[in-house]
A and B are shown apart, each in its own frame.
Chain A
Amino acid sequence: MSEKYDVLVIGAGPGGYVAAIRAAQLGLRTAVVERDRLGGICLNWGCIPTKALLHGADVAHTLANLKPLGFTATGVDFDVAALVEFSRSVSERLSGGVGYLMRKNGVDVITGSARLTGKGVVDVDGAEYRADHVILATGARPRPVPGVIPDGDRVWTYFEALVPAELPKSLLVVGSGAIGVEFASLYADLGSEVTLVELAPQIMPAEDVEVADHVRTRFEKRGMRVRTSTSVSDIDVGPDAVTATLDGDAITVDRVLVAAGVQGNVEGLGLEELGVELDGGFVRTDQWCRTNVFGLYAIGDVAGAPCLAHKASHEGVLCVEKLAGVGHVAPLDHHYVPGCTYARPQVASLGLTEAQAAATGRELRVGRFDLTASGKALALGEPEGFVKTIFDATSGELLGAHMVGAEVTEQIQGFGIARSLEATADDLAEVVFAHPTLSEAMHESVLAALGRPLNT
């Protein structure tokens, strides 16, 4: 007889392992299937190891700018292999932590590749498991660009970009989403000559155009080449270099990084045989993460955009609580999942862009505050950037917040909390912000939206 679980989760990324913990907490017999490492892309190949590398890039930037602070450093060496090793060790440690959490909560971990062989029936490398509820949390992987085939050597995806054997002298980054922009910034800081190419009219197409323009200007000031509305063709991989054509212009680089978005991991799971409905390469779900198939759910990247770890975790909890009958479960509003890009400058945003907000037809109040007037930003030596807030003029509802500049990724949650508690512009204006902090810019931006800025 096969093992029978109440809940079986496929994939132990930030969506899957969180869903499994919550299910176990609710008293349900739970297992999670993982073919690779606990923690998924986030811990092993995404959020966490890139942040470790970016920490190195920050140090490089600091070293390059010691002079105004009175320091002189000589004889500084850089070994990229050591930085990569540091990054890997961070991932190892966290992955081990997930294993501990599984044991602590009594979640069975099944190692292998899962495949649905029927409703509520899962085959893992020949062993059959049954479950009343099966949650797909298989995540996503880099989306290929036509004609640009990653080869793991000259043409990279983020997997290779995380563990470079040596620093490329020049790097062509194809795609300017969060991944492309972060690696472009990272390698530029470490000393590579970077070219960033985007098919859309602006880089970071999901962000507010003002933010994107600001990042582009900053990148270009740092010597990066940025091209938008540009397609890449004729990739020619040679033994020592790659030649590519950017809308007719030939360019020769050391390495190419393909970062043109992600696609859901929907293959090889037996979804087609079960009649699971897809939507643009992702699994189609309703507001409670249910698919069209009995007892089958999908959360996180495999269930579609925004493909972010925190969205996956949130969906994991809400999916499990709903199926277990816990009261007061609310569906997730995808618009208000915060998005963060850890480039230099950092970008953080929440809600509608100004263009999207204008398209709703509502009367808006838009506030903007430049960090040039922020004492703390000046003192940190990064006085560029701004905070932009968009409110409904009638109700004072916070529709969108867009931040670019120093440490904005740590601050966006202020707006997230405000939004969640339904604070209005007036409410935010009444909050006392500490001085001197970077977050004062948030306050000033709100005051500007209300037409009464103080420090501009």
Chain B
Amino acid sequence: MSEINAIEVPKWGLSMEEGTVTVWRVSEGTSFRKGDLLCEVETSKITNELEAPFDGLLRRIVAQPGETLPVGGVLAVSASETVSEAEIEEFLSSRGAHPAPAAAPTQETAPAAAPAPTAAPTPTAPAVPKPAASSGSTLVPESLQGQTSGEVFATPHALKLAAKLSLDLDKVTGSGRAGRVSMQDVHNAIRAAGGSVATPPPPARSVLPGRTLKDDSEVDATPVARRLAGNLGINLHDCRATGSRGRVCEADVREAERKFGLVTTSPEPASDAESPVEFETVAFDSMRKAIGKRLQASKRDAPHFRLTADLEIDALLALRKQINAMVPSVKLSVNDFIVKACGAALLRVPEVNVQFDEQTQSVRRYTYADVSVAVALPSGLITPIVRNTDTRSLASVSEEVHSLVTKAKSGTLAPEEFQGGTFTVSNLGMYGVREFDAIINPPQAAILAVGAGAQRPVVVNGEVIPRTILTVTLSCDHRVIDGALGASFLAELKRFVESPALMLV
């Protein structure tokens, strides 16, 4: 039976739209097992390993390293040895994937999903005998072709399939209750008459497929065998147990590795071409691309307006100094206070604590405040999230920010640690920036830009006195947040920042 399966760009996380292949770990012509590492795919935020969603033989790599495809795009094709190159071509064109760069094999039939419905019969290769009508690589033998006439007792999907394949259901024997024809009956009839049935590609998963199907933690195995099996993605249930006292030993895992034809190849080193000396060309990596794309879209689509406020932080600084001096395990920064104050203010003004769903033109209003904190990295920036900022203590917020910043720099953040959030704080105070405005981080609807605190003259009752002032600027998406609403959020924020003891209750 000829079976062709596509290996597709998976969807890792809600915001993932496309992926770039960085390196293939399996070469064409090698077979692989479900769970094997096939290639590495770089997304806007992470590089992840793509595990095989099924067993198969890699026949064609469609996406070469460096190529970017949308989610669901065909990365490669798996099929058994009996499937011809032409059938793979046909499969690819039916999937809308670009054909292989290699010399195109002789086209035997017009692609089933040819874009021009009015096209005349295939002008090329008229000598080839006309094969049975095809859909994908399902070939319906002539004996079954035709239009279903009259009423046939069949399942709705069997009727649909017959219409699609121009297959006469009268010629199919139903095996269901009262002779009802199911899709399985249609498939069986096609095969019985000498045709073939395309296997639908497995549905795209929204989560990474698991490495093993069955928990093998209870399988008796040597530590080496267990570790090796883990590294190779081999389930210990799949290994014979020839080791001492009935254990799976290293040799058993190696045997399974051979049996499954697992081969790993190292990536070919990039050739270092001579570069010109006048300037250095630096290609955008996917993080830069993601930043560019998202922020450009935000700036273009979200009507930004900005509200600026001066916050007096003398009381906050005094409280901070007192806490830091007295509690060894705590070191609060001014930013920790701002993040915590934002969490508290967001719950007070829940209309700002939202995500905007552009597709359905609706907002998701949250009952907890997940505040994203912008972290500068050498290669760009990332916004890890302090979850439940509203219910965390100041010390907990501080500890979380501290940990997230280091993880961001080490590249060890998990996707759930930076995807989501209902509001963002961006602080450039440590660089001495007095004030600035920030671009909203979609799907959020507002972002707070925090400058440096400094002593400035303030007029109180006609007298000029020095106060420590911090200027913050709130950028709002006017589709979601109106001016007065943004202002009321800033007022709440100011209240918490200027009376910081409120954050302790």
Contacts and interface: CB of A to CB of B under 8 A. Distances in A.
Chains A and B touch (C-beta atoms under 8 A apart): yes
Interface of A: 6, 26-29, 119-120, 132-133, 274-277, 292-295, 323-327, 421-423, 426-427, 430
B403 interface: yes
B244 A430 contact: yes
A28 B328 contact: no
Contact of B406 (A120, A133, A292): A133
Contacts of A325: 403, 406-407, 410, 412-413
29 contacts: A6-B406, A6-B409, A26-B411, A27-B409, A27-B411, A28-B406, A28-B409, A29-B409, A119-B331, A120-B331, A132-B405, A132-B406, A274-B328, A277-B328, A292-B329, A293-B329, A294-B328, A294-B329, A294-B330, A294-B331, A295-B331, A295-B402, A323-B406, A324-B406, A325-B412, A327-B412, A421-B223, A427-B244, A430-B244
B410 A27 contact: yes
B330 A28 contact: no
Contacts of B413: 325
Given A6-B406, A294-B330, 14 more contacts: A27-B411, A119-B331, A132-B402, A275-B328, A277-B328, A292-B328, A294-B398, A295-B331, A323-B406, A324-B406, A324-B407, A325-B406, A421-B223, A422-B223
A427 B406 CA distance: 42
A326 B410 contact: yes
Contacts of B398: 294
Contacts, number: 61
B222 interface: yes
A252 B373 CA distance: 70
Contacts of B411: 26-27
B300 interface: no
Contacts of B403: 323, 325
> What 8 A-B pairs come out closest when comparing CB atoms?
A325-B407, A325-B412, A275-B328, A324-B410, A294-B331, A119-B331, A421-B223, A26-B410
B324 interface: yes
A274 B326 CA distance: 9
Contacts of A323: 403, 406
Contacts of B244: 426-427, 430
Considering residues A133, A294, A326, which has the most beta carbons from chain B within 10 angstroms of its beta carbon? A294
Nearest to B432: A1
Contacts of B399: 294
A454 B11 CA distance: 61
Q: Is the contact region of chain B dominated by helix, strand, or loop, or is it mixed? A: helix
B237 to A, nearest CB: 21
B406 A423 contact: no
Given A119-B324, A274-B328, A421 B410 contact: no
B12 to A, nearest CB: 17
A326 B410 CA distance: 8
Contacts of B412: 26, 324-327
Contacts of B406: 6, 28, 132-133, 323-325
A133 B406 CA distance: 9
Nearest to A29: B409
B223 A423 contact: yes
Interface string B216-259: 00000011100000000000000000001100000000000000
Contacts of A327: 412
Given A293-B329, A294-B328, A294-B331, A427 B222 contact: yes
Nearest to B244: A430
B328 A421 contact: no
A275 B330 CA distance: 11
A293 B325 CA distance: 11
A427 B409 CA distance: 43
Considering residues A27, A325, A427, which has the most beta carbons from chain B within 10 angstroms of its beta carbon? A325
A21 B407 CA distance: 17
A113 to B, nearest CB: 23
Contacts of A430: 244
A98 to B, nearest CB: 23
A405 to B, nearest CB: 29
A4 B237 CA distance: 51
Considering residues B329, B399, B405, B413, which has the most beta carbons from chain A within 10 angstroms of its beta carbon? B329
A324 B410 CA distance: 6
Contacts of B324: 119
A327 B331 CA distance: 25
B330 to A, nearest CB: 6
Contacts of A293: 328-329
Contacts of A28: 406, 409-410
Interface in B386-422: 398-399, 402-403, 405-407, 409-413
Nearest to B408: A325
Nearest to A430: B244
Contacts of B222: 427
A133 B402 CA distance: 9
Contacts of A120: 331
B337 to A, nearest CB: 15
Nearest to B407: A325
A295 B395 CA distance: 13
Contacts of A295: 331, 402
A218 to B, nearest CB: 37
A277 B327 CA distance: 12
A421 B329 contact: no
Nearest to B405: A132
Interface in B403-455: 403, 405-407, 409-413
B170 to A, nearest CB: 60
Contacts of A324: 406-407, 409-410, 412
A406 to B, nearest CB: 30
A423 B245 CA distance: 14
A29 B405 CA distance: 12
A294 B328 CA distance: 6
Considering residues B222, B223, B331, which has the most beta carbons from chain A within 10 angstroms of its beta carbon? B331
A426 B245 contact: yes
A133 B223 CA distance: 35
A325 B406 CA distance: 8
B398 to A, nearest CB: 8
B381 to A, nearest CB: 15
Nearest to A1: B432
A395 B410 CA distance: 40
Nearest to B224: A421
Considering residues B223, B398, B413, which has the most beta carbons from chain A within 10 angstroms of its beta carbon? B223
Nearest to B243: A430
A419 to B, nearest CB: 11
A335 B399 CA distance: 31
A121 B224 CA distance: 45
Contacts of B223: 421-423
Nearest to A277: B328
A27 B409 CA distance: 6
A336 to B, nearest CB: 15
A262 to B, nearest CB: 26
Nearest to B379: A27
A323 B408 CA distance: 11
A202 to B, nearest CB: 36
Contacts of B330: 294
